[in-house]
Structure 1
Amino acid sequence: MPVTLLNPDGLMKTEMYRQVAIATGTRQVHIAGQVAYDAEGQLVARGDLAGQVAQSLRNVSIALTAAGATFKDVVRLTFYVVDWKRELLPDFAAGIERVAGELKFVPAPASLIGVSVLFEPGVLVEIEATAVVD
C-alpha cells in the first residue's frame, strides 16, 4: 500500500480525517469534483447535507475504482460546502461517517472550503480527491 495516514503528536487529534498522508506510489489519480448525482444525473438528497456528502463520497469511490484505486490510496480530499457555518458540522460529519462505515475507509488529509454557490442550485457539496498508487 503506497499511502500511510497519520495524526502526529503536537497536532489536533481528529477522527474525521488524518492530518498527514505519506505516499510512495508512482501513479497519481486526480478525481474531478464529485457531487450528489446518481448515474442518471439526478440530484440525490436535495436539501440534505449529510445525504449529499454520502452520495458525493460514493461517487468518489466509483471514480477511484475506475482508475484502479481505493480510498486507501487517497492522499488528499477537498470539500466545497455551500453556505458553510460551524453549525453544519454534525450533518457534514454524519455523511462522512455513513460512507466511511460502508466503504471501510479513514478519510485522508482534507480541507473544507465554504463557498457561496456551486455550479447548480441544490448542490450543497462538491468533493475532489487525489490518490497515489503503485
Structure 2
Amino acid sequence: MPVTLINPDGIPKTDAYRYRQVAIATGTRQVHIAGQVAYDAKGQLVAPGDLAGQVAQAYRNVAIALAAAGATFSDVVRLTFYVVDWKREMMSDFLAGIEQVAKELQIVPAPASLIGVSVLFEPGVLVEIEATAVVD
C-alpha cells in the first residue's frame, strides 16, 4: 500500500471516523477524481435537501470512480469537500454521511478540507467531493 496516514504530535488529534491529518504517499501513479455529487447512475439527484444522504451518495460515487482507475480509498491522499451554505451546525449531518459510507466501505478517511460555498453548479446539489489518490 503506497499511502500511510498519520496524526503527528504537535497538531490537534481527532478520532472522528479514524480521520488522519497527514498522508504520506510512495506510489508512482496519481489518480485525480473530479468533484462527485449525489447523482445516481441514471443522473438523478439522491437525497434532495438531505446533507447526510448527499454526502453518502457523493462518497459512494468517489469509490466507483476510484475503482475505475484501479484505486481504493486506501490509496487516497486528499479529499476536498465543498458544501453549500456551510454553517457549523451542519457538522453532525455532514459527519453522519461520512460515517455511513465509512462503515459500508470500510474506509479510513484521508486528510481533507471542507470548504463552504454559496452555490454549486446546479440547484439542489449540497455537496461535492474531490479526491486525489496515489497508487503503485
* Range into which the TM-score falls when normalised by the shorter chain: over 0.9
Aligned length: 134
Q: Which runs of 5+ in 2 are unaligned?
A: none
- 1: CA distance, partners of 2:15 / 2:59: 17
Matched, 1:13 2:10: no
Q: CA RMSD in A?
A: 0.6
Task: List structure 1 segments (4+ residues) > 2 angstroms apart after TM superposition.
Answer: none
Measure how far apart 1:15 and its partner are: 2.7
Given residue 9 of structure 1, which amino acid in structure 2 is its aligned partner?
D
Q: Deviations over 1:21-59 (max 9, x none)?
A: 000000000000000000000000000000000000000
Partner of 2:4: 4
- 1: CA distance, partners of 2:124 / 2:46: 10
Q: Which runs of 5+ in 1 are unaligned?
A: none
Given residue 7 of structure 1, which amino acid in structure 2 is its aligned partner?
N
TM-score of the pair, normalised by structure 2 = 0.97
- 2: CA distance, partners of 1:88 / 1:44: 18
Q: How does 1:1-134 map to 2 (within 5 A)?
A: 1-16=1-16, 17-134=19-136
What fraction of aligned residue pairs are identical, expressed as a percent?
85
- 2: CA distance, partners of 1:43 / 1:3: 32
